[in-house]
Amino acid sequence: MKARTVRFHRVGGPEVLAFEDLEVGEPGAGEVRLRVLAIGLNRAEAAYRAGRYLETPQLPSRLGYEAAGVVEAVGPGVAGVAVGDTVCVLPAFSMNRYGTYAERAIVPANALIPAPAGLSATDAAALWMASLTAYGALVEIGRIGPGDAVLISAASSSVGLAAIQIARMLGATPIALTRTAAKTDVLRAHGAAHVLAPGNALAAEVARITGGKGARLAFDPVAGPAVLALADALGPGGTLVIYGNLSGQAVQTPFPFHAAVARGLSLRGYLVFELLRDAARLQAARSFIEAGLAAGALRPVIDRVFPFDQIVAAHHYLESNAQVGKVVIDVAQ
């Protein structure tokens, strides 16, 4: 059985992505074959495609961490997953071994989670990466509670919007940071209590909002020199969580020494994979997210859905910073 599959033979921009008809084969031990319905795009995939990710692509390489689909075949030793199940794929594998950008894909069974009832395939594909990333930072690391202020950089991203929703679930005050003034109203509509521009005036604005307390947590995917302004806006005992490198200046990220020693701040690097590797932590996260869905407090936000044929255009859009929410591929379109 062959399936249209996206691969790239050299690193670079979105134009390196190409469709190939590849033999899918049967799932091996611990694997399943999935008929892919929808794919959630992530910045990590764009960085991997461009050769700027944590691991170097072994060319030609597949691509894709997140998807929703239907199980077509189950390999030896797989339990708890059956043919016909509608599932979501979590980013619990290396893209040098697996990838979800395909009509059909082999994926590890331990990367699957049942699709939540009542969600469309596109919504299910947009849910987990963003929600799990935000949960790990705000709930597990930050231990955010009522009255805490949370600074959320790149707040219009899918992770940023999930963080806004989770902050509100916890009774905290989400303060969205964006360089694009045109996004102010839509961020407020999605639950941000305040919308500010990042920069040197941030600490004074946060002090005004919080009555001088400062923020409890800064949740940042940008890194680079701008973290100094985030640290200045934190209150005593605050935590700065860095989970990305949108600035491209991660190696130039300074440690905010003076603010850290004066106010007992913590600087914490974080990737969602640490949560995914721990079954107990993942189950706690899943329960929290599913409770949020059931209560209507948490929902995936999709900016735009592209057909599978337009994967190159979708990657261009993903990197444009124009979106508010998730970019999703509808494979059935």
Q: What is the per-residue pLDDT across 54-105, written as a single tens digit (0 to 9) for each? A: 899 999 999 999 999 999 999 999 999 999 999 999 999 999 999 999 999 9
Question: How confident is the model over 36-67, as pLDDT tens digits?
Answer: 999 999 999 999 999 999 899 999 999 999 99
Cis status, amide bond into 60, omega within 30 of 0: yes
- Chain Cα centroid distance, residue 284: 18
Whether 333 shows a pLDDT value over 80: the answer reads no
* Beta-carbon contacts of residue 228 (< 8 Å; ≥ 6 apart): 254, 256, 259
Cα angle value 241/171/136 (rounded, 5°): 30
Is residue 181's pLDDT more than 90?
no
Q: Is 191 exposed, middle or buried (0-12, 13-18, 19+ CB in 10 A)?
A: middle
Tell me the mean pLDDT in the region 193-219: 95
Domains of the chain: 2-119+300-330 (3.90.180.10), 128-273 (3.40.50.720)
Burial track 41-65 (b if 16+ CB lie within 10 A, e otherwise) = bbbbbbbbbbeebeeebeeebbbbb
Residue 200 is predicted with a pLDDT of 77
Cβ neighbour number for residue 109 with a 10 Å cutoff: 19
pLDDT value, residue 199? 82
Q: Which one, of 3, 2, 37, 5, lies nearest residue 19 by Cα?
A: 5
288/248: higher pLDDT: 288
Give pLDDT, residue 252: 85
**Mean pLDDT, all residues of the chain:** 96
Evaluate if residue 14 carries a pLDDT over 90: yes
Band (143; pLDDT cuts 50, 70, 90) = very high
Average pLDDT estimate for 181-185: 90
From the CB of residue 13, how many other CB atoms can be counted at a distance below 10 Å?
Answer: 13
pLDDT the model gives residue 180: 84
How many CB atoms lie under 10 A from the CB of residue 271?
15
Distance between alpha carbon 18 and the CA centroid of its chain, in Å?
Answer: 24
CA distance 195 to 248: 24
| Residue 218: predicted pLDDT | 98
Q: Categorize the per-residue pLDDT at 224 as very low, low, confident or very high, splitting at 50, 70 and 90.
A: very high
Half-sphere exposure (Cβ direction) of 183: Cα atoms closer than 13 Å: 25
| pLDDT band at residue 236 using 50, 70 and 90 as cut-offs | very high
| pLDDT over 90 (residue 321) | no
Output the CA torsion 266→272→278→284 (10° steps): 90
Residue 313: what pLDDT? 98
Shortest CA distance to 112 belongs to which of 284, 312, 309, 282? Answer: 282
Kindly state the average pLDDT of the residues 277-283: 95
